[in-house]
Amino acid sequence: MSQHNHLLLGLWEIVIVASQRMQGVFLLVFSKFCHLPFLRGVQTQSTRTGLGGYWGNKGGVSARMMVFGHPVCFLNCHLPAHMRNLEQRMEDFESILQQQQFEGSTAVGVLDHDVVFWFGDLNFRIEGYDIHVVKSAIENDKLPLLWEKDQLNMAKQSEAVLEGFMEGPLNFPPTYKFDVGTHTYDTSAKKRKPAWTDRILWRLRRTGSPVPSHNSALQRGLTSWLGGATRVSQHYYRSHMGFTISDHKPVSALFSLHVSLKMVNLPLVTLEVEKEWTKFSDATAKLTVAHGFQRSSWDWVGLYKVIHERHFHVKLLLTFISLKLSLSTADFF
């Protein structure tokens, strides 16, 4: 990321918490400064599934962390293409889940986390209808006709590994495949059928707590619960059709994650300020390091303003952008 972009992030009081890249699959997680003291145990993973696991053009990258004491995981996947490869997509997804294991005693696997956000070029297609029916439904704003034939929607009804994953309504046109530089669906000799290949889903780990029945957002599928005060609410889910640099259109979603503040481990470093700072000469503090802490020349101390409340709302903006090079070999993998 350029120095200019880092400067802008600083002005907005935002910092990069984690990043992971595997060829064209890229994941960045950002946080506001005020949340940093409550983010712990950041880890990343990557899994290759292309060419039998040797090539990273397909697969998944993830970042996990404790957010206010709750394990949260972000998983970005690029699954196999083409209509006929539905079974391979599911096998690759299961392989990614099995291979990605994190250190620690809590949330070792992806699905062990309290909250999982799963997104990427998942490559699910629309079955049953030919290209003329699909385009007609898009042009006449009859998208619900296509939802029932969407492979991911159908797989959620039968695949155990997808149990609990939720997605907002697809109220935007299919985001694939476009002629690069235009807003026109594929006019090449292959004439790929439009599909919602680019998706954002979320999942809450199952608990024994009952789900409130009075919540209207829950009934619309826009809010999900993990018992107690933990819930995820989706505020919007949309595509950005103005972009023309790829044969995909990017999609984004805005979520609120509402959690109760759990007790976190005692800090390794404690700062004590003797009096209020009113001028530069007052800016002194006493630094106390926990017993057994291994000092390093790389150590640094950051001061952040923290709002102390019992419950916290964390807003998450997930944006997925699929950029593909127009190479003749791209369709073979």
For the cut 80, the answer to whether the pLDDT of residue 199 exceeds it is: yes
d(CA 291, CA 268): 8
Domains, in order of start, for the chain? 3-264+310-326 (3.60.10.10)
How high is the pLDDT of residue 69?
86
Q: 203 falls in which pLDDT band (50, 70, 90)?
A: very high
How high is the pLDDT of residue 45?
96
Q: Kind of pairing, strands 269-272 and 286-289?
A: antiparallel
Query: Residues 6 or more apart from 287 whose CB is under 8 A from it?
Result: 269, 270, 271, 301
For the cut 90, the answer to whether the pLDDT of residue 18 exceeds it is: yes
For the cut 80, the answer to whether the pLDDT of residue 315 exceeds it is: no
Helix (H) / strand (E) element for 74: namely: strand 70-78
For the cut 70, the answer to whether the pLDDT of residue 2 exceeds it is: no
How high is the pLDDT of residue 320?
53
Q: 210 falls in which pLDDT band (50, 70, 90)?
A: very low
Q: 313 falls in which pLDDT band (50, 70, 90)?
A: low
* Dihedral sign for Cα atoms in the order 272, 275, 278, 284: negative
* Whether 233 contacts 223, CB under 8 Å: yes
- Structure pTM? 0.78
For the cut 70, the answer to whether the pLDDT of residue 214 exceeds it is: no
